[in-house]
């Protein structure tokens, strides 16, 4: 049975943000609502990628998150760290070995100036 080594170091608290849509002028606008639930996870960043397009600097920060399996975490959700940084899930969460114990997914945050 495979057990990811990151599961032993769930030290990063994060708040789960669930998708919420509202209509603004007849257009469905995406957003997130705070569920109030804190999940503990292993949060590994891989540095960021900086690019300049049309004079606008954008910074894309990616990370891999490992946590206990929760069926309510989907690719539409996002997580918010204690620092206030909001990372949206970019890959479908993987149920490791289909056991329903651990899950891993990639997240990203886009910043700009």
Tell which CATH architecture fits domain 5-112: Beta Barrel (2.40)
What pTM does this model have? Answer: 0.84
Residue 68's nearest CA partner among 1, 21, 3, 22 is: 3
What pLDDT is attached to residue 94? 93
What is the per-residue pLDDT for 83? 92
What pLDDT does residue 36 have?
Answer: 79
Which residues fall within 8 angstroms of residue 68, CB to CB, at 6 or more apart? 7, 10, 39, 101, 102, 103
Q: What is the pLDDT of residue 66?
A: 94
Q: For every one of its 113 residues, what pLDDT tens digit does the chain have, with 9 covering 90 and above? A: 777 788 888 999 999 998 888 888 888 877 888 877 899 999 999 888 888 888 888 889 999 999 999 999 999 999 999 999 999 999 999 998 888 999 999 999 988 76
Q: What is the pLDDT of residue 6?
A: 84
Q: 3-class SS at 64?
A: strand
């Amino acid at each position: 049975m495979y057990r990811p080594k990151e599961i032993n170091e769930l030290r990063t608290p994060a708040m789960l943000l669930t998708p919420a849509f509202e209509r603004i002028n007849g257009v469905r606008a995406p957003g997130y609502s705070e569920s109030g639930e804190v999940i503990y996870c292993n949060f590994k960043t891989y540095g960021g990628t900086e690019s300049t397009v049309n004079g606008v600097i954008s910074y894309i920060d990616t990370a891999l998150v490992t946590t206990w399996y929760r069926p309510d975490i989907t690719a539409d959700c996002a997580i918010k760290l204690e620092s206030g940084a909001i990372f949206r899930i970019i890959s479908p969460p993987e149920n490791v070995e289909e056991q329903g114990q651990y899950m891993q997914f990639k997240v990203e945050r886009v910043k700009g100036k």
